[in-house]
A and B are shown apart, each in its own frame.
Chain A
């Protein structure tokens, strides 16, 4: 007798947005998406979070911009980018043709710029949501950003929410004493979801020259080295807040992604793994399916927040 099994229901529910599956690509690690077209079918992704956009084209930091550390990567790119006009003219039309959720990571040097980026993008079609980047540690030398304290987080989220016609995901920094307080501030200001975590402020030293290895001195640490800390923060926030959580930090495998879901994330973002394997996000989706099949899980979203804490 042939055994028939129903395919695993991969859909992820963020409330304001239903995704084909819970795997998004993390901003800053997936370019503008199109760079990856030769390596994977972008329509298979839950969504693409494109590289952070300032209003105007941006120069970024002087090199060296990258340094590898054990199971991790410190970057100090400094959000070099093309600006909203070039994005809307050259990139967005091509992304729009791909059947996946396009989420634009929004940056700003000050409140006005954040608002201007959102207002400009609001006039463009084909964007599912914004991810508010208030947490990039390597734009300013000491890693200063609004996401380091509740008040500026609240103020900025509130402002952007008031000018935006689209759902807002606020991406938080892990470089804080209480991630819960910051997430609460974002939630109170009306964010539709929080994404955590951005990179950890870090540095590397060349002992021979006794100089920093990065042109910017400090940068943001990502990769498998940060996963346990990111997982803890996702669990802390997801178990206390009602706003949906998107988890990221060192996800390299399907099992890593599933751990974040069990910890309470409604969806995940794959970051540094895409540098190592441009098709990592697609592989991770496949591994999630295999795991669910092997464990008799009918719907991936049923796993969200199922961590049994003693």
Chain B
């Protein structure tokens, strides 16, 4: 983890309110693991004041990618950055996904809703590289909310899409699509990132099918490095349950430990 004050925005792709940034930042990229995040400064002034936590969408020795959507003033300010702009980021932060033991043909389901798909691309690539078989379940409200499905396909990763309005792929929630699939087959693990409501529903489904699952949680964060105790989730531990910092002990937690609100 390091402060990279001179990261450079290399490439911007956008689809409505969704954005993909390619960022040159070797200090952050070289050690990043799937499921980790960065804290990005979105303004040079004091409004917005705080950095924004964003999941690492992809990474290599040269830098990393972000995939995000505009949800407030911070991400709106970030979306206005242009190629060549300097970016000030801290990363890679948090603990990432636990990778299953690499075994040829071992299947993992990766379930992403909306902007929650962001960290799953990096994870899918790493799983594939390790010899596992990632299958991505990608859900959005409409066709416009699943913009990077072809990015997975270009990387040789199988994607199954769902839209709530039925405008593309399976008609209905992505959780229903996964449930349907779990009746037929049992992957080594389910990984998910998306709205809390989606993940809570998915946690019920994976528990019912007795499949281990890991969920990447989103939260408002003050610092991202474990100092402010602002981002907490109720987590079950050996010693009972309590508020645990998402930034430090997460953002990824095993399904059976998360006590959903």
Hey, which bits of chain A sit against chain B, CB under 8 A? 28-31, 35-36, 38-39, 51, 59-60, 62-68, 70-73, 75, 77, 80, 223-225, 252, 272, 274-279
Inter-chain CA distance A75–B220, complex, in Å, is: 11
Inter-chain CA distance A288–B190, complex, in Å, is: 52
Q: Which residue of B lies closest to A25 (CB)?
A: B227
Inter-chain CA distance A106–B50, complex, in Å, is: 27
Inter-chain CA distance A278–B3, complex, in Å, is: 8
Say whether A66 contacts B49, CB under 8 Å: no
B95 within 8 A of partner (CB):
no
Inter-chain CA distance A224–B46, complex, in Å, is: 7
Apart from A31-B229, A276-B41, list 7 A-B contacts with CB within 8 A. Answer: A31-B226, A35-B226, A51-B229, A63-B232, A65-B230, A65-B232, A73-B222
Q: List 22 A-B contacts (CB under 8 A).
A: A31-B226, A31-B229, A35-B226, A35-B248, A36-B225, A36-B227, A38-B1, A59-B243, A60-B229, A60-B232, A65-B232, A66-B220, A66-B221, A66-B222, A73-B222, A77-B230, A80-B229, A224-B46, A272-B49, A275-B223, A278-B90, A278-B223
B242 within 8 A of partner (CB):
yes
B47 within 8 A of partner (CB):
yes
Which residues of B sit under 8 angstroms from A279, Cβ to Cβ?
3
Say whether A274 contacts B49, CB under 8 Å: no
Inter-chain CA distance A21–B230, complex, in Å, is: 29
Say whether B225 contacts A35, CB under 8 Å: yes
Which residues of A sit under 8 angstroms from B229, Cβ to Cβ?
31, 51, 60, 65, 77, 80
Hey, which bits of chain B sit against chain A, CB under 8 A? 1-3, 41, 46-51, 74, 90, 219-223, 225-233, 242-243, 248
Given contacts A66-B222, A278-B225, contact A80 B48 (CB under 8 A): no
Inter-chain CA distance A272–B228, complex, in Å, is: 9
Q: Which residue of A lies closest to B5 (CB)?
A: A277
Say whether A71 contacts B46, CB under 8 Å: yes
Inter-chain CA distance A225–B243, complex, in Å, is: 29
Q: Which of B48, B219, B222, B243 has the most CB of A within 10 A?
A: B222
Given contacts A35-B225, A274-B227, A278-B223, contact A72 B232 (CB under 8 A): no
Q: Which residue of A lies closest to B233 (CB)?
A: A63
Which residues of A sit under 8 angstroms from B2, Cβ to Cβ?
38
Q: How far is the CB of B249 from chain A (nearest CB, A)?
A: 13
Say whether A29 contacts B49, CB under 8 Å: no
Say whether A29 contacts B228, CB under 8 Å: yes
Which of A39, A70, A75 lies in contact with B222, CB distance below 8 A? A75
Which residues of A sit under 8 angstroms from B41, Cβ to Cβ?
276
